[in-house]
Chain A
Amino acid sequence: MNQVKSLSDWKMQSLESIQQQRPIYLDYQSTTPVDPLVLEQMLPYLTQEFGNPASRSHSYGWTAEEAVERARQQVADAIHADPKEIVWTSGATESTNLALKGAAHFYSGKGKHLITLRTEHKATLDTCRQLEREGFEVTYLDVQENGLVDLDAFVAALRPDTILASVLFVNNEIGVIQPMEEIGRILRERKILFHVDAVQALGKVPVDVEAIHADLMSLSGHKIYGPKGIGALYVRRKPRVRVEAQIHGGGHERGMRSGTLPTHQIVGMGAAAELAVQSMESDSRRIRQLRDRLWHGIQERVEEVYVNGDMEHRVPHNLNVSFAFVEGESLLMALKGIAVSSGSACTSASLEPSYVLRALGKSDELAHSSIRFGIGRYTTEEEIDTTIELIAAKVGKLRELSPLWEMHQEGIDLNSIQWAAH
């Protein structure tokens, strides 16, 4: 490794390595690099301004506290909330745990029922499973073929003892945008708490806790060009929403989440949130052009390709495509020059294909054949063009190897065959 001499050197190196030296990064829904503008603001709080924000007796602490509160304001502004409604956490998984367990425990006297969708992030689904083990009841609603919730089915699933519903604003795998305003209105009318997982929404679509009547909202730093290891939970104050703490200690964050605040991470998340909102329009416009270029390019060059998830109610940052008759992991292996992810079973430890794609009613085969392209702030037109070339060549090669493709070419209906299940 070369010695990094200055921050500007670092910026040059980091952008170069992102764009040239390594695989093309098209996995922005997995994580994002820290924006150099964000890093710049973080650095002083690792060295010079290292004080503990909880130290009330000297200027080291005061400076750190000021920085933390400034960041709290930035995150609050990004979602149209009050800074007092923001609780720092270690990341969105913790935020979701605190929201769901914290609210369920606090309001368990009111009811024992929660609602969520089958296509939620694992942080929500697994937390719900835990609540079920504790005696709560959870309804996991099916979604429509396009990935969107059916509002009539949603209303029908509500019960007198429903205390909370949790919905993913923008889906991490297929990028679809749920009708949050409608869901929020339905829940508010019935005084049911609304937890919103807005991790993939911030910086991609306008996020306004008032417009969607959110009571709790999970946010993450590293999906918005901020650092990993930092997240936030929005907890509404009017009308007041209560959550029972999950981590106990020094009573930080008004008792909702103890633990010394990581000033530099918080500063990074604040700066990233502000930047995300500022650059949302220009980023989205550019990214939409790149997404259209990618999709049209693939469609022109490759037959039997399908987009997973609604194409209209979707952020342009995500394109999830199934390449029929080709298995996803082998395609990933062929696409060494591109960093993407797949819904194929082989890429998961469980050997199960993507539960999100299966929830759309996609055949297992199409789930196995899916690739998620995540386009982001640093994606270039050249990278998209290279990706199209590679995809066309490699899908062609793998189809030559595929007995299913041969059968398809011969006009054999694969569904008519009795496969030996294994």
Chain B
Amino acid sequence: MAYSEKVIDHYENPRNVGSFDKGDESVGTGMVGAPACGDVMRLQIRVNEQGIIEDARFKTYGCGSAIASSSLVTEWVKGKTLDEAMTIKNSQIAEELELPPVKIHCSVLAEDAIKAAVQDYLQKHGGAAENHSVAAEAASH
């Protein structure tokens, strides 16, 4: 399979790899996927008092496209409000990375990871999730 240059770049120089303390009040953690399916993404966001995502970290078990998709979204969510982050669509990720059809599920997983991380943060802060159309099944597709 031929990878796009952007996938290769993110794969070889992944951005924002690592972890935040899951217990930290300002951190939201989203883990999606399953080892049996060949990909697991963990995306963490650090949110400041203004509700803006200040920083993000990821770790991904998966193919090159899955690693690139999660690396890309850590860049994209930074500086966004939670609501803005929730508007990131898998199609944008797929387009940016020029993912072939067989790899679209990687971008779907990355979108789900954002939703799961935001959901986790909101739950820590009084479960304000009703404002957001995030369902728990966001992680399943």
Contact = CB atoms under 8 A, between A and B. Distances in A.
B28 interface: no
A422 B40 contact: no
Determine chain B's interface SS by DSSP, over half rule: mixed
A266 B62 CA distance: 44
Interface string B97-110: 00000100100010
25 contacts: A325-B61, A326-B61, A327-B38, A327-B61, A329-B64, A330-B62, A330-B64, A333-B3, A345-B37, A345-B38, A349-B102, A363-B36, A364-B36, A364-B38, A368-B36, A400-B17, A403-B31, A403-B41, A404-B40, A420-B32, A420-B139, A421-B37, A421-B140, A422-B32, A422-B109
Interface string A332-345: 01000000000011
Contacts of A327: 38-39, 61-63, 66
Interface residues of A, number: 29
Interface of B: 1, 3, 11, 14, 17, 19, 31-42, 59-64, 66-67, 102, 105, 109, 139-141
A404 B36 contact: no
Interface string A394-422: 00000011111110000000100001111
Contacts of B3: 333
Given A327-B61, A346-B63, A403-B42, A365 B11 contact: no
B63 A420 contact: no
- Among A353, A363, A365, A403, max chain B CB count under 10 A is at A403
B101 to A, nearest CB: 11
Contacts of A156: none
B102 A368 contact: no
A420 B59 contact: no
A339 B135 CA distance: 43
Closest 8 CB pairs of A and B: A419-B34, A364-B36, A420-B139, A365-B35, A403-B59, A329-B63, A403-B42, A346-B63
Given A406-B19, A421-B37, 10 more contacts: A330-B64, A345-B37, A364-B37, A368-B35, A401-B59, A402-B61, A403-B31, A420-B139, A422-B33, A422-B139
Contact of B59 (A347, A363, A368, A402): A402
A376 to B, nearest CB: 24
A420 B60 contact: no
